[in-house]
Amino acid sequence: MFLFVLRRIVMSVPTLILVAVIIFCLVRALPGDAALMMLGGNIDDESTLEMMRRQLGLDQPLPVQFLAWLREIFSGNLGISIRTGQPVGALILDRFGVTATVVLLAMGTALIVAIPAGLIAAHRHNTKVDYAIVVLTILKLSMPSFWVGLMLLVLFGAILGWLPTVGFVSMSQDFGLGLTYLILPVTSLALSEIAVMTRMMRAGSLEVMNRDYITHARAKGLPERQVLWRHVFPNAFAPTLTMVGIALAGLLAGAAVTETVFTLPGLGKLLVDSIYGRDYPVLQGALLFIAAIYVVTNLLIDIAYSFFDPKVRLS
């Protein structure tokens, strides 16, 4: 197990370096001039513009800029925001709390709903219950999450008036009120993952149910509920667990759209604002932070998956 974890950690280092190169190149490929935007977007004095570029380090060749950024990363400094003058690391951590709350609640909701739904669909294979669950998942997969979010806003916010449509209140300040502001964005993100994970859980359960040990467990007279939860679920959940890491990355990526729709002050909204403001340090730092979370999450998923695989445990 130790060697398995060590190999995964060593493999993650070149992955993050490659991601850093890609992020740097993509950010620098964005149209516009950060120095020009800092000066108001319209200036006739070229000397002032050149001075601002020197202050921001944008007058250096791209390789020099990249190595300077990489040096700051290894020193634990992600730079200073061009727009606000605040440390990038502090900005990211401040916004990440909102995004993490939304993403974790959405993932938890998706797992709570998808696991029983997938097991029930497999247990009732080729019945009306199975067909209904399959149709609902296909229907949801055909709907983009941002459109679902807008429909939820219109229905529960504008028409019924049950939930707030815009704004945010931290649950640490007022738990009940803060929760009402998170219901719609969490539901919007969770519905897509529920559809994917239900189908994964159903497919895995159907495969496991054809195994000899399931037939043997039923022949011993075990109750069907015990067969499902003690024998089918642990063996069918492994592929779904692998999907959790991919789903978390998808939720983080989708958070940019969801937080913009629901005006949540999270990491996704920070990314969008940084793109419009050409705030290179914040944009690079936030993207690298998300990539690091993705790598760490998949490392944890691999470790958790190893408990389902004896070969990995012995390595």
pLDDT at res. 155:
87
pLDDT higher than threshold 70 for residue 284: yes
pLDDT higher than threshold 50 for residue 203: yes
Give the pLDDT mean for 123-143.
Answer: 88
Read off the pLDDT band of 113 (50, 70, 90): very high
Name the percent of the chain lying above pLDDT 70: 87
Q: Please, are residues 186 and 168 in contact by the beta-carbon 8 Å criterion?
A: no
Pick the more confident residue, 220 or 21.
21
Q: 80: which strand partners? A: 87
Model pLDDT for residues 216-269, shown as the tens digit of each residue: 777 877 787 888 887 788 777 777 777 777 777 777 767 778 888 888 888 888
Q: Which CATH architecture has domain 89-308?
A: Orthogonal Bundle (1.10)
Give the pLDDT mean for 162-179.
Answer: 81
Read off the pLDDT band of 23 (50, 70, 90): confident
Q: Please, are residues 238 and 254 in contact by the beta-carbon 8 Å criterion?
A: no
Length of the chain as a residue count: 315
Residue 304 amino acid letter = A
Say how far apart CA 252 and CA 225 lie, in whole Å. Answer: 35
Residue ranges of the domains in the chain?
89-308
pLDDT higher than threshold 60 for residue 310: no
Q: Which two tokens stand for residue 204?
A: 């895995």
pLDDT higher than threshold 50 for residue 131: yes
Say how far apart CA 72 and CA 74 lie, in whole Å. Answer: 6
